[in-house]
A and B are shown apart, each in its own frame.
Chain A
Amino acid sequence: MAENILNLATYEQMEELVKQMTLLRQYTMGELEALGVEFTAMPATVTGTRTLDASSSTLRVNAGSMNTDPYPTTDIRYKFPFNEIRTAKITADFEVVRWIDEPDFLDADGIIAVRLSKAYIDVRDIYNPVLRRDKTPDCILPPLFYDYETQSERDYVWVGADKSVKVLGENKLTCALGEAYYTNVREDTVLRPYSEAVGDGWSQADIALRDYLRILILIAGASHNTQAVFGRGVCDLRYNASDVVTVETLTSNFVVVSDATGALYNVNEWVNLGNAVGNTGKFAQRKITLKEANYDTLGNTRITVDGAVFTSSVGNVLWHAPQLISDEDFMAMGNECGYIGTDGRVPVSFFGIWNLWGNVWEWCDGFFHVDSVPYFTYDPSKYSLIGASQPADLSQFTQHSVVMPSSNGYCGQFAGTPAIPSTLSGGSDSAGMCDYFYTASGYRALRVGGSLADGSFAGFFAWYVDSTPSSASWTIGSRLLGRP
């Protein structure tokens, strides 16, 4: 028998066979590392218990400031795949130019992206996910790591570290610090093609990525309440028509508002000014550099912003712009979790992937619904079929086995593969998925996470399926995903 095998198999095949047999033996003996988390009382109890080799793991989050003490050895950051999550500046061809902790990272050219390593998953029970480095009988390859073109596995993907920004003078996107997110443009004709224009293997973030991140987040945080565990994200800011200018200013770089309004804004926060809320006719994406309460005897506050001078009129509306991550905060956080500053007003990092919730919504490609019946594809070559109107040939997509709720509300539970909202029952800001679900009838695409004034509605599990890819708003951006 052994002789026959040797006759038939090449050396490489034998090597692979031995490797598989070794893995099988190790799997049977319980020697292969596996991380899991179990939620036994969802949707009422949103926290879970880490299982298998994660059972004694902990998670330390930087809550407001950086804790630069050594991490306890039990921290989950030392476990695969968290220990391989790394930020770098990379080329469009996926060549690393500089890792984040190299000395001249900020000065280097490249797309800022985070490398996510391949892990195999067991998601047969949505409330008991398991993740392994090695392929075993109980675990499958997440679609994120499957190359539909070559029908092979890829070892890792690159995820934009933050929302995308536009490359000056070109119809393509990148990820860079200190530049306004590219919003207020359509997904189907701008954000998606501009993402794909980065190069071969690039697209917008999609449902395959979101579903893989869901498992990482649940195992790392052992909770569905992402805002409570990692930080609220940018969700408690102002988008309100009552935040008006009270005193006209001429060719200066400050606005005057009531003390009550001024109290809602802080130095280092990014703001817009226009003739109505949502309008940026006076200025866009300026940083507050100085705030002087009781500036005059009339109960006004003077707010100074950076940039060129402007003129403001009584009744102009001040409102928060998306909050950009400073170089200092980005570098200080590295590939850790948490936020620097006031919870709810600053971006949150999940191992160096920022703004997975809050700030601005993020289009999630590869998914849409028609009257609550969801369809999806993991094949990026089909994303362009998800256009302004319903795809003519729905057979190009997989119809999901779960029907989504047909009304709005806090999401109670997710179900199926990929995991999607299945019911609002049991949901609240602290129960179920802890985040909000918005929908509308007809053909609608998916955006996720929430925006800067969404409060507790925001979170990793916030889903918004009530607009088509032709929608454009300052509240919606996108994230790059690179598949080498």
Chain B
Amino acid sequence: MKTVNLSQSPSLYQAQRVKEEVIITLYDNVKDVSTEENMQFEADMYQLKLPYRKGLLSSDSYDVMLAFAKKLSNPSNAVEERQARDVLV
């Protein structure tokens, strides 16, 4: 997980196909931290890399993917450790 600053409010689920893979970017805890001069947002960002399938481009699985990303960010067993290594970007 990275805390990132954004110049606009992000869409929470962004999936981009790169050849035969999909990079999924998930945002959570989006906060408006704009000042009078600048519009700015702060958010927790997770990125996952999975093989491509069409369904992954849909934001329907945002909640499931976010929970998954959070779990992998703090792996508690061999399965999660391996997946964290292979899936988390």
Contact = CB atoms under 8 A, between A and B. Distances in A.
A334 B20 contact: no
B84 to A, nearest CB: 8
B79 A328 contact: yes
Contacts of B53: 96, 99
A334 B53 CA distance: 18
B64 A104 contact: yes
Interface of A: 65-66, 68-70, 84, 86, 88, 96, 99, 101-104, 328, 331-334, 336
B75 to A, nearest CB: 8
Contact of A101 (B64, B81, B87): B87
A70 B50 CA distance: 17
Contact of A70 (B20, B77, B85): B85
B65 interface: yes
Interface in B52-69: 53, 56, 64-65, 67-68
A337 B20 CA distance: 22
B54 to A, nearest CB: 9
A68 B78 contact: yes
B9 interface: no
Given A96-B53, A101-B86, A68 B68 contact: no
B67 A334 contact: no
B31 interface: no
Given A70-B85, A99-B51, A332-B79, 4 more contacts: A88-B51, A103-B65, A104-B64, A331-B83
B23 to A, nearest CB: 14
A99 B83 contact: no
Nearest to A71: B85
B9 to A, nearest CB: 26
Contacts of A334: 82-83, 86
Contacts of B51: 86, 88, 96, 99
Contact of A332 (B56, B68, B82): B82
A66 B78 contact: yes
Q: Is the interface of A mostly helix, strand, loop or mixed?
A: loop
A60 B53 CA distance: 28
Nearest to B22: A99
Contact of A103 (B68, B78, B82): B68
B82 A68 contact: yes
A361 to B, nearest CB: 30
Contacts of A84: 20
Interface residues of B, number: 19
Contacts of B20: 84
A331 B86 CA distance: 12
B85 A68 contact: yes
Q: Which 4 A-B pairs have the closest CB atoms?
A: A103-B68, A68-B81, A332-B78, A331-B79
Contacts of B79: 328, 331-332
Contacts of B67: 103
A426 B20 CA distance: 45
A334 B81 CA distance: 11
A333 to B, nearest CB: 8
B35 to A, nearest CB: 37
A101 B87 CA distance: 7
Contacts of A66: 78, 81-82
A1 B51 CA distance: 45
A86 B21 CA distance: 12
Nearest to A117: B20
9 contacts: A66-B82, A68-B78, A68-B84, A86-B51, A96-B53, A328-B78, A328-B79, A331-B79, A332-B77
- The residue among A102, A328, A331, A334 with the most chain B CB atoms within 10 A of its own CB is A102
A110 to B, nearest CB: 12
Contacts of A333: 82
Contacts of A332: 77-79, 82
B82 to A, nearest CB: 5
Given A68-B78, A328-B79, A332-B79, A102 B50 contact: yes
A101 B78 contact: no
B46 to A, nearest CB: 12
A136 B12 CA distance: 45
A219 to B, nearest CB: 21
B2 to A, nearest CB: 19
B88 to A, nearest CB: 10
A334 to B, nearest CB: 6
A66 B56 CA distance: 28
Nearest to A330: B79
Contacts of A104: 64
Nearest to B56: A102
Nearest to B87: A101
A96 B54 CA distance: 9
Contacts of B82: 66, 68, 332-334, 336
